[in-house]
Amino acid sequence: MDQEQELGQDFSFASLGKFVAPSIFTFVFIAVYQMVDGLFIERFVGEMAISAINLYYPIISLFIAIGVMIGTGGNAVIVKKVGEGKRKEAGETFSRVISFTILCGIACTAICLVFADPVMRLCGATDGNIEFLRPYYLTLSTFCIAILLQSELGILIIGEGKTVVAAIVIMVGGVLNCVLDYVFMRNLNMGIRGAAIATVIGYCTTIAYAIWFYVIARKSSYHLELAKPDLKEIGFICFNGSSDMISNLAQGVTVLFMNHLAYRCYGEVGVSALTVVTYVQVLIMMVFMGFTSAVEPVFSYHYGSGNTEMRRKVYRLSIRWCLVLGAAIMLLLFFFRSQVIDVFFDPGTSFFDIASLGYLLSLPACLFVGVNIFGSGLFTAFSNGLVSGFLSFVRTFLILTACLYGLTAFFGGPGLWSAWPAAEFFSCLVTVFFLRKYRSRYQY
């Protein structure tokens, strides 16, 4: 099928599941190979070294947030134009999106390298772990453009209806990353810098495929066009994708807060344990981010074509899928809890005990996070960046920060781990309110 056939098909519960499955797999695979990254670092560098990943998380979250913002906001505009039959204009928007991303990458790299030490200290680096963070930080920050483009192009390719292709490309990049992790750290003894280089090379597979898809083979329904700068359109794209940016950025900021709170509650051991708990939280969220990224273009397409019946149908099916997936993930992770933690830390150690407690207390969030992520993404698909951004800000920063500091103040370490599910529950109440409020306007 071409893009319009893929997005315009008559979905059922089963066919929607089949449609979103490759996108979910893609996002989950990203989370899993990041976990493998941490596993290799723990095995070949040491248990304290794994903290470098979590300490750098706020920075890479910023990079990914910018890429996702431009990609999601741009994708909604591009797909809507395709739905309206304006393919040349869609290509012009695509060209502006790519150019703007490259400029953002250059600016981010310059800032991160010039202010390296202050930024690392801000992220929570201490004298005990900054030696592990420094090479990881410098390497990844140097290749900021690759991280931004990978985040953006993955979304645009999914927006083409190429969910299976996107999954394969990400999988290839992930496998390459894992293989190079072993080669660079085990065989070439490059330490944590080798892990960073392997990550960058893995990201570049998506970029390489995009060059072939859009430029060489010209498989897309729109193409790169010579386009004049349009700051108004770029501003709208950024605003429309701001919810996804806020979600990723706020997640990075809250991980920064969690690093400081984990250090306060458990010391440097707690920061390393937090890395594994963060992996699990990201894995859960990636399932629903993959789902939402796949259905967003469907809503954008039918919004552009004016098909209200299909919008209503896909909305109902999406809510059902969010609830089913949430319950299934919680049960699956609960039954395999020991096996997951045992991959990183030896049983009986303080690392293992702290990580196990955080893992278990995080699981109830599975029941609410799907509706929250989907709700925010739905408004992005309708180009309502204001509501989408508000929901993301409330969920990923305002409520979560309040829960983090409030529950930790009262309950210490257990409060730190309980903050995420508590925040997702309260955020779900807000999301449901807005979904009901705007139902008549967007006719879903």
pLDDT above 90 covers a percentage of the chain that reads: 28
The C-alpha atoms of residue 167 and residue 158 are separated, in whole angstroms, by 9
Flag whether pLDDT at 332 surpasses 80.
yes
Quick one: CA dihedral 248, 176, 154, 16, positive or negative? negative
The C-alpha atoms of residue 413 and residue 373 are separated, in whole angstroms, by 27
Q: Tens of pLDDT along 162-187?
A: 767 877 887 888 889 889 988 998 88
Structure-token pair, residue 106: 């250059």
- Those residues whose C-beta lies under 8 Å from the C-beta of residue 289, and which sit 6 or more positions away, are 27, 373
Residue type, 435: L
What pLDDT score was predicted for residue 8? Answer: 67
Q: Which class for 216: exposed (0-12), middle (13-18), buried (19 or more C-beta within 10 A)?
A: exposed
The C-alpha atoms of residue 68 and residue 56 are separated, in whole angstroms, by 18
Structure-token pair, residue 66: 């910018």
Most confident of 75-84, 111-120, 348-357, 422-431: 422-431
pLDDT band at 1 (very low <50, low <70, confident <90, very high): very low
Flag whether pLDDT at 414 surpasses 90.
yes
Mean pLDDT on 191-200:
88
Angle, nearest 10°, between helix axes 144-159 and 51-83?
40
Between 157-161, 191-195, 267-271, the lowest mean confidence (pLDDT) is in 157-161
Q: Report the chain's terminal Cα–Cα distance, integer Å.
A: 25
Structure-token pair, residue 81: 């134009």
Flag whether pLDDT at 102 surpasses 90.
yes
Q: Tens of pLDDT along 238-274?
A: 887 776 677 667 777 787 888 889 888 888 788 878 8
Structure-token pair, residue 312: 């209503």
